[in-house]
Structure 1
């Protein structure tokens, strides 16, 4: 069984900046003309080969459930499992991923892989297909310059181990060891070992519950014994949709 997880629980602060309260929206549902021109609709189309698609929502959760019911084709609706994160405003992104993994591992057996993608991304179909087809654990990178105020940094150290760096306050980053390679993370991952994923998820709940989703992902990587089971995939087109201007750029790409 192949399961995917999309997290869309966040408050969309930057996306809704200076927008009147009654006009604020969950950014993965934003569109201007065609209700299918949303981040969530395009991402679900990319995940049509998965057996189950777990969507973790929080902010404006009823808007999310309504959109799924009204706009998503039935063939995809049948695969979707909606999970509500009641702590979207007081805990970080890690809790949403924790809930998604918990839903998968506690309710399904014989899971071959779990693919996790953050719900505010737009990725080209060709690159995404490579992630889907890979039979390994997958880490991704995008081709944007690395900047400490917004990038999630992935690097490989002298022991060939992979580590992440991120500053939740969007300040400076510091790398304290030699490295072989450094990337701007594509914020999309695939996990193949369900035993390690459960251990990493349990560790998050017991020790790191206020951390970002990197708390789970880094623990999973630390538990792996063979880094040859990891494939690094570069993404040709990648936009992290933080603002309305980002959405316009994504929309222009869809038109092309």
Structure 2
């Protein structure tokens, strides 16, 4: 059993900036010209080879449910399990990932791997399929410059361990140890040791429930042997925070058709 988790619970505040409340949308289902021109449609299509697709929503959950019901092809729709994060507006992104992993662990006895991708990303097919086809645990990086006010940083320390840095207040980042390499995280991961992922998820529930999804991810990669990790570059990667970002993404889709 291979499972993909996509989280789309956030309130899309930057995407809806300056938009009247009645016209605000969940950014992963925002589209122009064609209802297939959405982030969620493209991501679900990319993980179509997975046995189950767990989608965790929150903000405008009914709109998400309706969109999937009306626009996702039947064969794919049958693989999707939709889950509501009732803390989407008062807890950070970690709770959505926690719920997704919990659903996978509780519903399926034999799991070979879990892929996790944040639902506001656009990634080229070739890079994404490198992640899907890898026989190891995967962490990813992109080619964009690293700015402390928006990047999730992953670095390799002198012991070859991978560590994450992110400032949720969009301020400066501080490295507290020497490092060999530093990357702009591609915010896409694959977990192959489900026992260790369960440990990381339970640790989050007990100790870090108000933290971001990096709390679960960091704990997991702290437990995994470094020789079981593959680092994969994502050639095309856009984090869709604004409607200008969406335009960049949509232009890219039109170019690669």
5+ residue gaps, structure 1, are none
Instruction: Report deviation, 1:252.
Output: 0.4
Alignment-derived partner of residue 240 in structure 2: 241
Alignment-derived partner of residue 185 in structure 1: 185
Partner deviation per Cα, 1:199-224 (whole Å, 9 max, x = no partner): 00000000000000000000001112
1:94-113 equivalence runs, <5 A: 94-113=94-113
Partner deviation per Cα, 1:45-97 (whole Å, 9 max, x = no partner): 10110000000000000000000100000010010000100000000000000
Alignment-derived partner of residue 72 in structure 1: 72
- Tell me the SS of whatever aligns to 1:132: helix
Instruction: Report deviation, 1:184.
Output: 0.2
- Tell me the SS of whatever aligns to 2:12: coil
Equivalents in 1 of 2:21, 2:158: separation in Å? 50
1:4 aligns with 2:1: no
Instruction: Report deviation, 1:33.
Output: 1.5
1:116 aligns with 2:116: yes
Alignment-derived partner of residue 137 in structure 1: 137
- Tell me the SS of whatever aligns to 1:154: strand
Partner deviation per Cα, 1:105-139 (whole Å, 9 max, x = no partner): 11101100000000000000000010000010000
Equivalents in 2 of 1:222, 1:48: separation in Å? 30
Equivalents in 2 of 1:51, 1:135: separation in Å? 17
Equivalents in 1 of 2:182, 2:80: separation in Å? 35
Equivalents in 2 of 1:14, 1:127: separation in Å? 27
Alignment-derived partner of residue 232 in structure 1: 231
1:24 aligns with 2:35: no
Equivalents in 2 of 1:231, 1:163: separation in Å? 14
Equivalents in 2 of 1:34, 1:179: separation in Å? 45
- Tell me the SS of whatever aligns to 2:86: coil
5+ residue gaps, structure 2, are none
Equivalents in 1 of 2:97, 2:236: separation in Å? 24
Alignment-derived partner of residue 220 in structure 1: 220
Equivalents in 2 of 1:178, 1:204: separation in Å? 27
- Tell me the SS of whatever aligns to 1:141: strand
Equivalents in 2 of 1:4, 1:206: separation in Å? 24
- Tell me the SS of whatever aligns to 1:150: coil
- Tell me the SS of whatever aligns to 2:139: strand
Number of equivalent positions: 255
Alignment-derived partner of residue 158 in structure 1: 158
Alignment-derived partner of residue 35 in structure 1: 35
Equivalents in 1 of 2:163, 2:176: separation in Å? 12
- Alignment TM-score, normalising by the size of structure 1: 0.99
